Amino acid sequence: MTAERWQSVVREIIHRGDDFGRPEIGKGEKLNVEFVSANPTGPMHVGHTRGAVYGDALAALMAFAGFDVTREYYVNDAGGQIDVLARSAYLRYRESLGHEIGPIPEGLYPGEYLVPVGAKLKELFGDQLGTKSEKEWLELVRPVVLEAMMALIRADLARLGIRHDVFFSEKSLHGPEGDIAQTLDWLRTKGLVYQGRLAPPKGGAPRDHEDREQTLFKASEFGDDTDRALVKSDGSYTYFAADIAYHRNKYLRGFLHQAIVLGADHGGYVKRLQAALKAVSGGAAEIDVKICQIVTLLRDGSPVKMSKRSGNIVTVADVVDEVGSDAVRFMLLYRRNDAPLEFDFAKVVAQTRDNPVFYVQYAHARCCSIFRTAGVEIPQLDLSNEALENADLGMLSSDADHELMRVLGTFPRVVDGAARYREPHRVAFYLYELAGALHSMWAKGNQDPGLRFINPGDVKLSTARLALVRGVRQVLVNGLAILGVFAPEELS
RNA sequence: GGCCCCGUAGCUCAGCUGGAUAGAGCAAUUGACUUCUAAUCAAUAGGUCGCAGGUUCGAAUCCUGCCGGGGUCGCCA
């Protein structure tokens, strides 16, 4: 009885192909997944990698589950750090004009990646910037260096196979008629903004607490721990004010479902974000804030020391160049997002069972190899989907057959759970299990020829077994697609 | 001090959305290559699920307290 169910699973896989296992939970509703959103002040470093990969896989998973997904990157191009960046680039500009700049002053970005930006500024402006006031040249330098940094970041994301649909500028929210102003007006009409004082935080050491009257948002009415400041003492908006406007903007664009991927250091930001969206959407929109815990890089068993001051940072590019995008992605996804993770270069490069990436990819390659061999050993075999769907699957009666079919049959449930709880790692673990079941049956075929996938003396059995292998391959393809990991036809 | 995350085999981690004897890989020991690619497989061994209570027919899982590790507590971004 269960055997019949399993057989129907194999048939269903072949029939539905890339759609097999698709959970029907999104119903075409719009979902915005915001991830990475690294500050555009330099290339991406490893710290960003986990959130980038997790966010991308989450987006793919939710798309597979039927959501209309938008991948979004919030560009923090409005803060004081952009001026610091522009000054740093200006220094490189002077350097490219032949001025002696000496060591990069404390507080500016020392990275070599700004050298080409200096040259670009020279190309664009000649020696004219030196004749202008700082206010003037900042205006000219900012957009140039910003674009250059975003180009670096896009290139880093591309290395990981990540592509965002929308790059949303924080700066575009500012201005007298901008979203922030409009949002604050709207909040005022709802009585959610007031002038008041905040009690100093208990314990700890508040660095900058000023007991003064200020413009506050009633975040505590929506579940936050305290009310939050909206305007700085110089009259400009706080980062949070912009963020409220940004999430309202997403809501007004029709995103009733939102997800955002943040690093562990932003854990304290969760409540206020949820409060903000609750307030601006009147409770109509929900945001799922996913926190990625830190990654410890290990080389030869000991942590890789990084120091920003000495410029000794490991970048995304470094890691991808060393181990490859597939290995990086799979290893980072082979762990719950909210658990800390050790990333050991030696293990990630190893092509053994120690490394689940190659184990799973090898399973896919093995499926392909079986089909190549089958075409040679039994030329009269019909390997079309139609023929395999109509194979006599009752021939698949060994324990190994049953185990493999059983694992195949659990794929839809695994994906459904992964999508519901936004946990792509479940798919990664599942693929590992499926790969194991295939490798195991393969090895049994070495002992017992009756368990081989290809039996030249028995076309009927071979057809059934190949239908099974086609099913395994299809599920590996569907799962790897969610993770964004390549499914190779052979390993070289 | 408040809030958040973590504590499961020597190591790295699943299981946490209550169900049956708690799982996998690595490391250790032992076997399988004239193969449908052994980049693989099979077997042995290894655990008071941080501690103590509570809820329940039943707890690694839910609740409370404590211990240990990490993060965070700005008008920064």
DSSP string, A261-289: EEEGGGGGGHHHHHHHHHHHHTT--EEEE
Helix (H, G, I), strand (E, B) or coil at A257: strand
| Neighbouring residues of A370: CB distance < 8 A, sequence distance ≥ 6 | A453, A454, A466, A469
Q: Which residue's entry shows tokens 């007991």? A: A211
For residue A309, name the pLDDT band (cuts at 50, 70, 90): low
Q: Quick check: A486 CB within 7 A of strand B?
A: no
What's the average model confidence in pLDDT over A90-116?
94
> pLDDT for A326-375, tens place per residue?
999 999 999 999 888 888 887 887 777 678 899 999 999 999 999 999 99
> CA-to-CA distance for A235 and A421, rounded, in angstroms?
41
d(CA A238, CA A250) in angstroms, rounded, equals 19
For chain A, which domains are there? 2-24+351-483 (1.10.730.10), 80-159 (no CATH), 295-349 (no CATH)
Q: Which of A111, A167, A492, A116 is nearest to A324 (CA)?
A: A492
- Alpha-carbon distance of A219 to A403, in angstroms, equals 53
pLDDT score at A302: 75
Through-space separation of residue A75 CA and nucleotide B68 C1' in angstroms: 39
Cα–Cα dist A439/A432, whole Å: 11
Residue nearest to nucleotide B16 (CA to C1'): A336
Q: Find the Å distance, CA of residue A419 to C1' of nucleotide B17.
A: 13
Cα–Cα nearest to A75, from A147, A20, A17, A4: A147
Positions in chain B where some atom is under 7 Å from a protein CB: 1-7, 12-17, 24-27, 32, 35-42, 70-77
Q: Is the CB of A233 under 7 A from strand B?
A: yes
Residue A205: band (very low, low, confident or very high) from pLDDT cuts 50, 70, 90: very low
Dist CA A437 CA A171 (whole Å): 52
Strand B and A76 CB separated by under 7 Å: yes
> Does position A474 have pLDDT exceeding 70, yes or no?
yes
Is this complex's ipTM strictly greater than 0.85?
yes
One-letter amino acid for residue A336 of the chain: R
Per-residue pLDDT for A378 more than 60? yes
Is the confidence at residue A101, as pLDDT, over 50?
yes
| Mean pLDDT, chain A, integer | 92
Nucleotide nearest to A233 (CA to C1'): B75
Query: In angstroms, rounded to a whole number, what is the distance separating the alpha carbons of residues A147 and A348?
Result: 33
Say what the pLDDT of residue A304 is.
81
